[in-house]
Chain A
Amino acid sequence: MTAAIEVRDLVKTYGDTRAVDGLSFSVEEGEVFAILGPNGAGKSTTVEILEGHRPRTGGDVTVLGVDPGSAGSGFRDRLGIVLQSAGIDRELTVREVLEYYRTAYSRPRDVNELIELVELGEKADDRVGTLSGGQQRRVDLALGLVGDPDLIFLDEPTTGFDPAARRRSWDLIRNLTSLGRTIVLTTHYLDEAETLADRVAVLAGGRIVAEGTPSALRESLGEGTRISFELPAVDEPLNALLDPLRGTSRGRDRRIEITTDAPTADLAHITAWATSRGIELAGLQVTSTELEDVYLDLVGEDA
């Protein structure tokens, strides 16, 4: 396999903000690569640099064998771009909009086929401006596919969708992957990355904090146990309770949460600490962590 995308030490700053802070990754041809991260992580900045929409501050980027910063229309002819937000000519109908954009491509797809693909058959002759947000997003997707691209960028394709609509979009995207297209997808939904991607990079604060196949991520990060209880009402500092723990602890919503690989030892320590002081730990829970929790820990977000 050859690499469709090769990124080394990519940096992008806006004034003092380091939106992208030294990214390196590569995407193979035919692969579905997800960039997963919370709002402001730098996902859009990264994909828009790869698309040639934004200049970069530093680093090397090769997409389909060329530098997107200086590539011409031959490069864009092979690209399908679905931006996080970009307007559509509202005064045209769905069919007209697809016909308008397809002429620029050397391998334009059939308009009727595309309309079927994104399930807009009934709306084909309605003006784009009259469609709902979700329907407009499907026009966006159809426009991303109108040039029969080798490489498709989808920036948060399902954000704001209800669960049923999200599932339909997932089916559609899976369809594309079965045609051997390379797809780069950004999302802040863990389940979306897990369902669709061959490989996931978790992005936070402009850096990749974890990378791998969904199952590898689950294995390396996901197994763990969470012990939690309400903040005990004691007059002493909690160092004697927390410092000896093997896992990591943090306070959240007046509860203490401990994520650990050694639940037996840590639990023994906690209960010993409490019984020696004659305290009953209110709301004590021991649960196994979900990938979701690990992800939230990684990106440093409170759910």
Chain B
Amino acid sequence: MRRNVRLLVHQVRAQNRFFWRVPVGAFFTLILPILMLVLFVALFGNDLDFDGPAGASVSAAQFYTPALAVFAVGSATYTNIAINLSTRREDGILRRVRGTPLPPWIYMAGAILSSVWIALVSAAIMVTLGVIAYDVNIELAKVPAMIVTFAVGSATFATLGVALAGVARSASSASALANATILPMAFISNIFIDLGADPPRWLRVTADVLPLKYFGVAFSEAMNPWSDAPAFVPDRLGVMALWLVVGALIARWRFRWDPIPGSTGCSARRGRRSAS
């Protein structure tokens, strides 16, 4: 038990180090959503013309800060894990790990927890920036609900990332699939744009069965000064938790540690071996 905890802590630390060692990845995960916040607020001004939850009008910053915080959490977990795991599988690193005494679940838990940590950092940066630079409101009473939502939401998207790495055959297809799923989902889930009171029915239904919308709603509720609605709604968490279970089942069924024959392997990447 104590040994496993020690190994897990070590894994999380190492995975974090991997993350920071690849600046492009860190940029996309951390900086891009912040850049979007700055851009959107500049474009739309800070007037009260966005539909907040419960019919209230809110400023662009009040709308986008929680929404993009949630988007940042999504890319730090879902996109990041899908790309990382499939790249490491393709390179044969996961196969190497499987040959060591490290229990595979600890490796996996390490990857998930480290991405949740990065998600926490990016959400915190986003919210802090909104509060300090754009006068965004935050309801202290709802912060505990926000934390619970974050925990469930980030665990869900991290698990879905593992599932996607299980489904994708190569790192490049994992990366394409991650973007091809999370970006449209963000568009229909009130993350990038305010869909207004009545979007087309099929869009709404699609968004209703997917997990991202609930994550976004719960976050904006927690920061919305005019809403009496509680940030903590078991139904919303329930939908996310359902997706967590679905993701876990797909991951269990499809995830492989060995490189998939036919996908570009480490030999191609590392070039011909020659002695030195």
Contacts and interface: CB of A to CB of B under 8 A. Distances in A.
B199 interface: no
B6 to A, nearest CB: 8
A100 B101 contact: no
Interface in B133-183: none
Given A51-B99, A81-B99, A91 B21 contact: yes
B266 A85 contact: yes
Contacts of B276: 132-135, 165
Counting chain B CB atoms within 10 Å of each CB, which of A53, A86, A87, A103 scores highest? A87
A87 B103 CA distance: 19
Contact of A87 (B6, B14, B91, B275): B91
A133 B273 CA distance: 4
B274 A85 contact: no
B274 A106 contact: no
Contacts of B101: 73-74, 76-77, 104-106, 147
A86 B92 contact: yes
A86 B93 contact: yes
Contact of A85 (B7, B92, B99, B103): B92
Given A100-B14, A133-B272, A164-B275, A87 B99 contact: no
Interface residues of B, number: 32
Q: In which size bucket is the chain A interface? A: 35 or more
B100 A86 contact: no
Contacts of B17: 92, 96
A269 to B, nearest CB: 48
Interface in A116-162: 132-137, 143, 147, 159-162
Counting chain A CB atoms within 10 Å of each CB, which of B88, B103, B273 scores highest? B273
Interface in A69-90: 73-74, 76-77, 79, 81, 83, 85-90
Given A86-B93, A87-B269, A88-B93, A162 B100 contact: no
B272 A73 contact: no
A53 B97 CA distance: 11
B92 A159 contact: no
Nearest to B22: A91
Interface in B65-103: 88, 91-93, 95-96, 98-103
Contacts of B18: 89, 91-92
B2 to A, nearest CB: 14
A136 B103 contact: no
Contact of B100 (A85, A96, A101, A133): A101
B99 A133 contact: no
B271 interface: yes
Nearest to A14: B261
Contacts of B266: 85-87
Interface string A95-109: 010001101111000
Interface string B259-270: 000000111011
Contacts of A83: 92, 95-96, 99
Going nearest first, the 6 A-B pairs with the smallest beta carbon separation are A87-B91, A165-B275, A133-B273, A134-B275, A160-B273, A91-B21
Given A53-B98, A91-B22, A161-B275, 11 more contacts: A51-B99, A52-B99, A85-B92, A87-B92, A87-B96, A92-B17, A96-B17, A134-B276, A136-B273, A147-B101, A161-B273
Interface of A: 51-53, 73-74, 76-77, 79, 81, 83, 85-92, 96, 100-101, 103-106, 132-137, 143, 147, 159-162, 164-166
8 contacts: A73-B101, A86-B93, A89-B93, A104-B100, A104-B101, A132-B276, A134-B276, A161-B274
